[in-house]
């Protein structure tokens, strides 16, 4: 984890020498259940031991925010009352979350903030949700007597993405960042918002991420198109069945999807087909975990990869290559993780195959793309909290 003293020294240096409070929130992994959150389905994330650390303090002004991004060495000051907000994309997370927390009744005034992070950017581990939930946690504490609930902070983070950053994301990332618990994955029903902690200690296996270091940009990107495709299918199904209510693909059956296949077209059909299959796979993974059947879990992960690559079309050449390498090395399960369009694969690998797999992946990826993938051993950590 990041060093608090490092963040503190920068906070002191870049502002008026005083200290504030320090908060942290993690990035996340997701075992299975991709692109299901905005379709009312299930997800299976966990927080990681990498995150964002922010020092924050009310600065006595009505609405001036002075912000310093330590990693970028970039300082931006802005006013909360400015309807446009700051231009820098990192500062928009601060601006957005502050306005969303105000909407929840937190009397946010001017504050100083310096932050740093060690969630790899563009790896699909949700560095943005880590920022949103960290800043929300700080503002809730400093200005709001911690009255805003954890779920409302999750929703404020999501609204920040929607309203200020141009990504119509679901709730998985912010949920995992706020509710994470060391050693546990969480199965969340994104429709009812009920969730369960699943202690995750696979005997003889480990989870490892291979980061292709191919960057994705979700804003104004195919991510929102995928969501539109799913919503379009729901609209067509709803029109055919006025007797029932259809909010998301969660409410739709395979038969209903087949009924609208011709009218929605092959592309939207394939998107919805993936989502319906993925919904069932998360539940099957839960059963397999309860039985300690990790080989079954892995098989389902490969199926998810196949669907994300061929039907949802959010993979890319580099990630398909990493997936093939995993298969050839006898890795139990492997798939692209997160929104897609770059990022990393998550791999469930037997301890005795781990070294050989990593060495082979590094060598062959380097030969083909001129650089090695980055390797992150997954450590499942705690969610948002105040450090001091
Ligand atoms: C991104 C979004 C999430 C989720 C995943 C795909 O991480 O922020 O809400 O949709 O993609 O599962």
Q: pLDDT tens digits, residue range 88-134?
A: 999 999 999 999 999 999 999 999 999 999 999 889 999 999 999 99
DSSP 165: I
Q: Compute the distance from residue 183 Cα to the ligand 1 centre, in Å.
A: 22
**Among residues 188, 106, 190, which one has the least CA distance to residue 148?**
106
Residues 6+ positions from 366 with CB-CB distance below 8 Å = 372
The atom of ligand 1 lying closest to the CA of 167 is 8
Hey, whose CA ends up nearest to atom 9 of ligand 1?
170
pLDDT of the residue at 3: 87
Other Cβ atoms within 10 Å of 222 Cβ, number: 17
In this prediction the pTM is 0.97
From residue 103, alpha-carbon distances to 155, 323, 376 in Å are 11, 43, 37
Q: What is the mean pLDDT of residues 204-212?
A: 97
Q: What is the mean pLDDT of residues 170-174?
A: 98
Q: Compute the distance from residue 169 Cα to the ligand 1 centre, in Å.
A: 6
The pick from 42, 168, 172 for probing ligand 1's pocket by mutation, whose C-beta has the most ligand atoms within 8 angstroms, reads 172
pLDDT of the residue at 217: 62
Q: What is the mean pLDDT of residues 354-376?
A: 98
pLDDT of the residue at 4: 93
- DSSP calls for 8-36: HHHHHHHTTS---EEEEEEEEEESS--S-
Residue 375 has pLDDT above 80, yes or no: yes
**Residue 306 token pair:** 């196949």
Q: What residues are labeled active site?
A: 173
For all residues of the chain together, what is the average pLDDT?
96
pLDDT of the residue at 215: 77
Rounded to an integer, what distance in angstroms lies between the CA atom of residue 56 and that of residue 98? 13
Residue 218 has pLDDT above 70, yes or no: no
pLDDT tens track for 321-364: 999 999 999 999 999 999 998 999 999 999 999 999 999 999 99
Q: What is the mean pLDDT of residues 219-233?
A: 89
The pick from 27, 34, 37 for probing ligand 1's pocket by mutation, whose C-beta has the most ligand atoms within 8 angstroms, reads 37
Q: Compute the distance from residue 337 Cα to the ligand 1 centre, in Å.
A: 9
φ, ψ of residue 181 to 5 degrees: the values are: -145, 130
The atom of ligand 1 lying closest to the CA of 169 is 9
Q: What pairing do the DSSP bridges indicate for beta strands 344-350 and 195-199?
A: unpaired
Pocket lining for ligand 1, CB < 6 angstroms: 34-35, 37-38, 126, 169-170, 172-173, 338-339
Rounded to an integer, what distance in angstroms lies between the CA atom of residue 240 and that of residue 251? 14
Other Cβ atoms within 10 Å of 133 Cβ, number: 35
Q: What is the mean pLDDT of residues 370-374?
A: 97
- Contact between 357 and 348 under an 8 Å Cβ cutoff? The reply is no
pLDDT band at 173, cuts 50/70/90? very high
The atom of ligand 1 lying closest to the CA of 171 is 9
Rounded to an integer, what distance in angstroms lies between the CA atom of residue 11 and that of residue 33? 38
Percentage of residues of the chain with pLDDT beyond 90 = 96
pLDDT tens track for 25-44: 999 999 999 999 999 999 99
Q: What pairing do the DSSP bridges indicate for beta strands 64-69 and 111-117?
A: parallel
Map 83-108 to HEC letters.
Answer: CCCCCCHHHHHHHHHHHHHHHCCCCC
Percentage of residues of the chain with pLDDT beyond 70 = 98
pLDDT of the residue at 219: 59
């Amino acid at each position: 984890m990041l060093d608090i003293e490092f963040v503190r020294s920068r906070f002191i240096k870049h502002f008026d020498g005083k200290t504030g409070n320090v908060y942290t929130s993690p990035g996340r992994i997701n075992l299975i259940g991709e692109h299901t959150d905005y379709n009312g389905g299930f997800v299976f994330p966990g927080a990681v031991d990498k995150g964002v650390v922010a020092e924050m303090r009310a600065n006595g002004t009505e609405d001036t925010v002075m912000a310093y991004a330590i990693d970028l060495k970039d300082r931006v000051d802005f006013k909360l009352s400015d309807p446009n907000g700051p231009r820098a994309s990192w500062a928009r997370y601060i601006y957005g979350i502050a306005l969303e927390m105000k909407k929840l009744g937190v009397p946010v005034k001017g504050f100083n903030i310096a932050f740093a992070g060690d969630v790899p950017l563009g790896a699909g581990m949700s560095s943005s949700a880590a920022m949103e939930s960290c800043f929300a946690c700080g503002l809730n504490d400093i200005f709001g007597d911690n009255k805003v609930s954890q779920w409302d902070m999750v929703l404020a983070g999501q609204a920040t993405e929607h309203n200020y950053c141009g990504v119509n994301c679901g709730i998985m990332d912010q949920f995992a960042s706020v509710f994470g618990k060391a050693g546990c994955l969480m199965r969340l029903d994104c429709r009812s918002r009920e969730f369960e902690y699943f202690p995750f200690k696979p005997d003889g296996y480990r989870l490892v991420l291979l980061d292709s270091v191919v960057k994705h940009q979700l804003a104004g990107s195919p991510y929102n198109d995928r969501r539109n495709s799913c919503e379009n299918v729901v609209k067509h199904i709803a029109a055919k069945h006025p007797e029932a209510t259809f909010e998301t693909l969660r409410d739709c059956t395979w038969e209903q999807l087949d009924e609208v296949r011709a009218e929605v077209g092959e592309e939207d059909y394939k998107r919805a087909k993936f989502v319906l299959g993925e919904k069932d796979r998360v539940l099957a993974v839960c059963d397999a975990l309860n039985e300690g059947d990790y080989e079954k879990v892995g098989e389902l992960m490969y199926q998810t990869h196949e669907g994300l690559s061929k039907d949802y079309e959010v993979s890319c050449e580099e990630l398909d290559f990493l997936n093939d390498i995993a298969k050839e090395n006898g890795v139990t399960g492997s798939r692209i993780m997160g929104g897609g369009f770059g990022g990393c694969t998550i791999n469930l690998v037997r301890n005795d195959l781990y070294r050989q797999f990593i060495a082979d992946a590094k060598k062959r990826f380097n030969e083909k793309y001129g650089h090695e993938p980055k390797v992150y051993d997954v450590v499942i950590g705690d969610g948002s909290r105040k450090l001091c």
